[in-house]
Amino acid sequence: MGLPDRTVEDLLRELAPQVLGVLTRRFGDFATAEDAVQEALLAAATQWPAEGLPDNPRGWLVQVAYRRMIELVRAETARRDREERAARREGDHRRTAPAADEPLITDRDDTLVLLFLCCHPTLSTASAIALTLRAVGGLSTAEIARAFLVPEATMAQRISRAKQRIRSSGLPFRMPDEGERESRLATVLHVLYLIFTEGHTATLGDDLRRVDLSEEALRLTRALHALLPDDSEVAGLLALMLLTEARAPARTGPSGELISLADQDRGRWDAAAIDEGTALVTRAMARGPVGPYQLQAAIAALHDEAPSAAQTDWPQILALYQVLERLSGNPVVSLNRAVAAAMVHGPAAGLDALATLDADPRLAGHHRLDAARAHLYEMAGDRDRAVAHYRVAAGLTTSLPEQRYLRMRAARLAQG
């Protein structure tokens, strides 16, 4: 009896990093192991829906990928002169097939090691995101390309370059040393956060969201939290994703139009996700140390727990943004703090705070600054300036739903 494609797809995404970890640890060659695992995943995606799951799906994938890995390594070995390669590369880095009687260790989960490897500082952010989604998330190159609206060939080149960068750097397949683990974990969290953010509000295209990306970021962060349950910032990031994603059902209207937070039907929010996220961030902040993701999650929790927009605890949100601003130095945080200040002290206070950001080059050409200024001018009753800034913001964003929303706000105000 056949199996639903979604059941197989979910299982393969869960198993992909585990199988890749087995091969990479055995052969010491991440790039070739990743190719072998992708071929095993393709074979499983073709056979399992029709033939049913094997008794040991993980073992099945390991054996298929292992056989393919042996073929790839032996083919390369045959093409190269052993002596010349030995002269060029140290013995520890040579890729040769292990002895046939050497046991294959398959009961170790190296997902966390893979995350650190895919998010290594030597890689660009774009490369780290693509490689993480493929190697750890189990997405195909075509799926990643569709998610980011780029040609498959372009994404394939990006992933290939990232793999070659790891291969040429000679990075060992192991956890980072204790001295660098904290900074490396921060990079992993940043990559997962960026994947989620792109899924939550896509920077390009007709759709407000890229659901596949936000769901994958949430799944990977859950896996990371399971591996590091006592890390407060990992818990904070998971809580932030849950509390943000909880509002997703109410963010768009029947035609896909954007609905602002203040106008959303809160009855459509995911109460279970809100409860889980709130509990996570409450425990994390009590445990400490408090970091940026926990603070953002605490802000999201205050929005989610408010019975209505008018009952939002803006003084507490402002206080949290002030702490977050000191911790992060991020101009987008400063922008959000300015809006919170307007909600507490009036639009003039918010506009004064926004004025201090005009000279920040990191916000140059960013639509959010004009969108925030338009909102505060609208609060102040200055329709002409609000309309002007809504129109500027609409011209700067590359998201079509945001463009339509901002132009709609401008049109309504212009009509009086």
Residue 173: the pLDDT is 85
The structure's pTM equals: 0.82
Q: What is the pLDDT of residues 159-185, one digit of tens each?
A: 999 998 888 888 788 888 878 888 889
The answer to whether 167 touches 107, Cβ cutoff 8 Å, is: no
- The domain ranges of the chain are 1-85+111-169
**SS3 for 127?**
helix
From the number of C-beta atoms within 10 Å of its C-beta (0-12, 13-18, 19+), residue 182 rates as: exposed
CA distance 208 to 406: 13
CA distance 40 to 398: 38
CA distance 158 to 160: 5
- Cα-Cα-Cα-Cα dihedral sign, residues 224, 229, 232, 236: positive
CA distance 298 to 281: 7
Residue 212: the pLDDT is 85
Residue 50: the pLDDT is 86
Q: What does the radius of gyration of the chain's CA atoms come to, in whole angstroms?
A: 24
For tokens 């800034």, name the residue: 389
Residue 91: the pLDDT is 47
Side chain identity at residue 120, one-letter code: H
Helices and strands (H and E) in the chain: how many: 19, 0
Residue 253: the pLDDT is 93
Residue 288: the pLDDT is 84
Residue 88: the pLDDT is 57
Residue 310: count of CB within 10 angstroms of its CB: 7
Residue 92: the pLDDT is 47
**SS3 for 201?**
coil
Supply 361's token pair: 């080059």
Which residues of the chain fall short of a pLDDT of 50?
A: 1, 91-96, 100-101
| Residue 258 φ/ψ, nearest 5 degrees | -75, 135
Residue 79: the pLDDT is 65
Q: What is the pLDDT of residues 350-369, one digit of tens each?
A: 999 999 999 999 888 889 99
